[in-house]
Structures are given as C-alpha cells and as structure tokens.
Amino acid sequence: GAGVSQSPSNKVTEKGKDVELRCDPISGHTALYWYRQSLGQGLEFLIYFQGNSAPDKSGLPSDRFSAERTGGSVSTLTIQRTQQEDSAVYLCASSLDLGTPAYEQYFGPGTRLTVT
Amino acid sequence: RKEVEQDPGPFNVPEGATVAFNCTYSNSASQSFFWYRQDCRKEPKLLMSVYSSGNEDGRFTAQLNRASQYISLLIRDSKLSDSATYLCVVKLNTGNQFYFGTGTSLTVIP
C-alpha cells in the first residue's frame, strides 16, 4: 500500500518568508509526528498528533512553528518568518495508535528546506 | 544530558566481519526500544524492535540491558548493503516522544 508522502520534496525560500510543508500519513494511522533533522544531527521531535486529542507541541522550537492536522489525516507544518537556522530536512512519520510496546513509525521521504 | 547517546563512529569493517554498536539511555522510565536504519539522504526505516529477552532477525541481534541502561545491535557476516547509519530509538513509558540517537555510521568495505 501507499506509504507516508510529503510535499514538496525540496523547498528553497528566502529568509523572512513563510513556508508550508505537507504530510499525508498512511491510511488508518492515527498517530502522526513531525521531526526535523539537521546535517549530522539526530532527529529532533517537533509535534505529535493522536486522533482527536490535543497535539503535543512540546518540541516546537519557537512560536514561528505551528502545525495542523485536518480530519485526522493530512497534516501541514507551517514555519513563519523563516530563518537560516530553520534549514533542515523535515520528516513526518505515522503509526498505529500507541500501545505497549509502542508501534513502529513509518517515515515519509522528508522535505529538504533551505533558507537563503 | 541527552536521552540517548550513541558512538557516532564511523565504523569501517570488511565484508564478512561482525560489528557491534552500543547505545545508552538516561531515563530509567524508558520502555520501548528500537533500532532504525537510515541510508544517506533517505528516511529512517525500522530495522528491529528490541525486546527484554533479546531478539534475533537473521544476521542481526539486539540486546537490552535495563540494569546498565543500554541496548546493543550486533551484525554478523556484514554485507556491503549494510552500509548505513544506525539509529537507536527509545520511548518512555509516559508521554508521546520517541528519542532518537544521532546515529552510528557503518561502512562495509569490499
């Protein structure tokens, strides 16, 4: 079946502009995560959605970052007034409802964001 | 202190060699453990979950040591296709976050 898809695959933007990144999770997956990965760094948790529950935004680095998930499916990550330090690969992952033990996360191919 | 720490490597090993990676975690409330594999400029993919009793999948063996708070990955009979970065991942028994290590780079040399 279809995996997690993300768009665009690459985005180059000027400092100060807003960008929107999109994630289409695997159908039926209720959990959705956004991460970012800078060159040579580990994955940094940004935000988590689970069903209709309030999202866990504890990883968002500043109030310039926000995310929505509409209808429990597609999610968009918005970065306002982009800065050069926002340049990174933004990865989306989805999984089945969290259980014990936790379910595998399936990652999308990522959006490579470059802020010039 | 980071939740998960890994030796970044790089590990350069000849084909057929056995190689082991360790990963330490700082929070004793950690409950779920995984090894993910990430190829260059690709997304991470699950290699294997790590169970308390240890588990094996073909040439790959994962171990968990709760007392010392580390997990390990052993790769036997290394193949060229094993070249990748191996990410250690931990989830606590509370909250929603998965904590990823920065990864250990492996290159298998012909």
Q: Mean pLDDT across chain A, nearest whole number?
A: 91
> Which residues in chain A have their CB less than 8 angstroms from residue B34's CB?
104
> Do B82 and B74 contact (CB within 8 A), yes or no?
no
Q: What is each CA distance from A103 to A99, B9, B39, in whole angstroms?
A: 7, 28, 21
What is the pLDDT at residue B29? Answer: 83
Handedness of CA A29, A111, A6, B107 (dihedral sign): negative
What is the pLDDT at residue A1? Answer: 58
> Do B90 and B99 contact (CB within 8 A), yes or no?
yes
> Do A26 and A112 contact (CB within 8 A), yes or no?
no
What is the pLDDT at residue A98? Answer: 62
- Other beta carbons within 10 angstroms of residue A96's beta carbon come to 15
Q: Which of A40-44, A90-94, A100-104, B95-99 has the lowest mean pLDDT?
A: A100-104
> Which structure tokens are listed for B19?
């190689």
Q: For B9-68, how does the pLDDT look when each residue is reduced to its tens digit (9 = 90+)?
A: 899 999 999 999 999 999 888 888 999 999 998 999 999 999 888 899 999 999 999 999
Does the beta carbon of A20 lie under 8 angstroms from any beta carbon of chain B?
no
> Do B54 and B64 contact (CB within 8 A), yes or no?
yes
Distance CA B61, CA B72 (A): 8
Q: For B42-59, how does the pLDDT look when each residue is reduced to its tens digit (9 = 90+)?
A: 999 999 999 888 899 999
Q: For B85-107, how does the pLDDT look when each residue is reduced to its tens digit (9 = 90+)?
A: 999 999 887 777 889 999 999 99
What is the pLDDT at residue B26? Answer: 92
End-to-end CA distance of chain B: give it in Å, rounded: 38
The answer to whether the CB atoms of B44 and A91 lie below 8 A apart is yes
Residue pointed to by tokens 């802020």? A115
Q: Which residue of B has its CA nearest to A55?
A: B96
> Do A13 and A82 contact (CB within 8 A), yes or no?
yes
> Do B76 and B15 contact (CB within 8 A), yes or no?
no
Distance CA B73, CA B50 (A): 9
The answer to whether the CB atoms of A35 and B100 lie below 8 A apart is yes
Percent of chain A with pLDDT over 90: 72
Q: Give the DSSP per-residue string, chain A.
A: ----EEE-SEEEE-TT--EEEEEEPPTT--EEEEEEE-TT--EEEEEEEETTSPPB-TT--STTEEEEESTTS-EEEEE-S--GGG-EEEEEEEESSP-SSPPPPEE---EEEEE-
> Which residues in chain B have their CB less than 8 angstroms from residue A45's CB?
97-99
